Amino acid sequence: MSTQPVRVVEAAEPMSHHEVLEALSGLLLSLFVAMLSSTIVATALPRIVADLDGSESGYAWVIVASLLTTSTTTPIWGKLADLFSKKLLVQLALLVFVAGSVLAGLAPNMGFLIGARAVQGVGVGGLVALVQVVIATIVSPRERGRYSGYLGAVFAVATVSGPLIGGLIVDTPGLGWRWCFYVGIPVAAVALVVLRKTLHVPTIKREVSIDYAGAALLISGVSLLLIWVSLAGHQFDWASPATAWMVTASVLLLASALYAEARAKEPIIPLRLFRDRTTSLATFASVMVGVAMFAGTVFLSQYFQISRGMSPTAAGLMSLAMVGGLLFSSITTGRLISRYGRWKPYIVAGAALTVLGSALLGTIDDDTSITLVGLYMAVLGTGIGGMNQNLVVAVQNNTAMRDMGAASSLVSFFRTLGGSIGVSGLGAALGSSVAGNVAAGLSRLGIELDGSGETARSIPDMASLPGPVREVFEHAYGVGTAHIFLLTTPFVVLALVAVLFIREVPLRTTIEQADDGTSR
């Protein structure tokens, strides 16, 4: 069966800035609602988990379930974009997202909510992948920095408004946390309408078969790995028979996925992409920075509400510090890259600031000045903003158009995978740290815990606790939050090392690159 693409004739004149923005308006709106679904739940999670009688593990898995399906489906959506209508695929992704949102809002218990979040994540994976693929289809790498800045701006606005909207919804009588999931549905509906009117991109169709075996093995291997990271340390010991069989099975599944991908005519993740030094190092850096990015958005909200006694709305306002830095650096570096054609200095500077911000947040506790915490968050956000979208630009610059969907989704896949592993592992580490400190603090007060330790591991309703007991939990979560950022710091140091060794290739001024690396 032929694998040669049927070329679509492009317009002779390049699209103007206004035309590109018009074409991307629906996609940017789609990206907004996808990012909103992740951030709006952050400030509401302590209330959700308390209402549904969840635990610290359940808290983390409400986030991880979405990240897991987002990460595992992102490369699949990217590959489909190389084969089928991008417009149809993004509309399908929006419909899947809406279905997951409805189910999450109706959740009667933690298990149902986690499953609904997994459905949401499938839709989010499509939206995250397809936005970048469409940009690569209609904009040259030299101009792509400007539009990557818009992506960073949308990400920042969603991150700012998400916690604020979530906090207001939770604090508003008559609404409640379920509306945190319903509120995105009208926005998704508007995005669908806008897409039908404005999105017109060429479709390159090829008569090929999709590597379903490789996709299934990849999803199974990654999912089992994340389940192990989330459960180890409190459901069973790190060194235990459960760990042995889960890790072994995960490694075998992923090795089988690599074997299947290497033999497939149209692999989900073309392994040839990793022959390129920039792609390999940028992908590795994305995994490492994903840990820091999701740790900052997930666990700091819990820190402000439990350790510092803030309302969900106030905790949402604190996110402005981190997102302000992210917004500034993503837009500024994007414009500088488009103007001067250089990208490596901004990625290296971003990685260095991410290391600094993570290390500084590793020093906080329940008594640290709120101003200082906000400053540390701003440093971390500025660093992440300088890396996130610019790593995608670097990879796209070295990729032929026939692999653009797979390559564009590759960086997002590994960044989200890093975030999934990070949230799972850091959630387990936070739970263990909090349990130990709570047990020790309550023991000093003469309060004995039951043998199961569930009291120490559960997320309490802080308002209902007596003063001395509340102080024990506040201190435990303050120290525990610092602990997870100290654990994060070595990962972002590795990201810095990786980007230092990336070889900077001048940005192309044409959209398409031939397989031999020349522009056309």
pLDDT digits (tens, 9 = 90+) for 426-441: 877 887 788 788 888 8
Q: How do residues 348-363 score in pLDDT, each as one tens digit? A: 999 999 999 999 999 9
pLDDT, tens digit (0-9, with 9 covering 90-100), for 276-309: 888 888 888 888 888 777 776 678 878 888 888 8
DSSP secondary structure letter of residue 11: P
Could you tell me the residue range of the domain that residue 62 belongs to?
17-198+212-500
Rounded CA separation 23/11 (Å): 15
CATH number assigned to the domain comprising residue 104: 1.20.1250.20
- pLDDT score at 376: 93
Question: Whole-angstrom distance between the N-terminal and C-terminal Cα of the chain?
Answer: 27
State the amino acid at position 196 in one-letter form. Answer: R
**pLDDT (0 to 100) of residue 193:** 85
Residue 12 — pLDDT band, cuts 50, 70, 90? very low
d(CA 449, CA 435): 11
Judge whether residue 91 has pLDDT over 60: yes
Q: Is residue 8 part of a domain?
A: no
Q: Is residue 156 part of a domain?
A: yes
Q: Which of 150-164, 244-258, 320-334 has the lowest mean pLDDT?
A: 150-164
Say if 3 falls within a structural domain: no
CA nearest 279: which of 414, 402, 129? 414
What are the C-alpha distances in Å from 455 to residues 53, 88, 191, 335? 12, 49, 44, 51
Q: Does residue 507 lie within any of the structural domains?
A: no
Q: What's the mean pLDDT when you consider all of the chain?
A: 78
pTM of the complete model: 0.71
Cβ(376)–Cβ(354) below 8 Å: no
Please count the structural domains in the chain.
1
pLDDT number for residue 223 = 79
Question: pLDDT grade, residue 99 (50/70/90)?
Answer: very high
- Say if 176 falls within a structural domain: yes
* Alpha-carbon 74 to chain mean position: 11
Residue 207 lies in a domain: no
Does 436 or 313 have the greater pLDDT score? 436
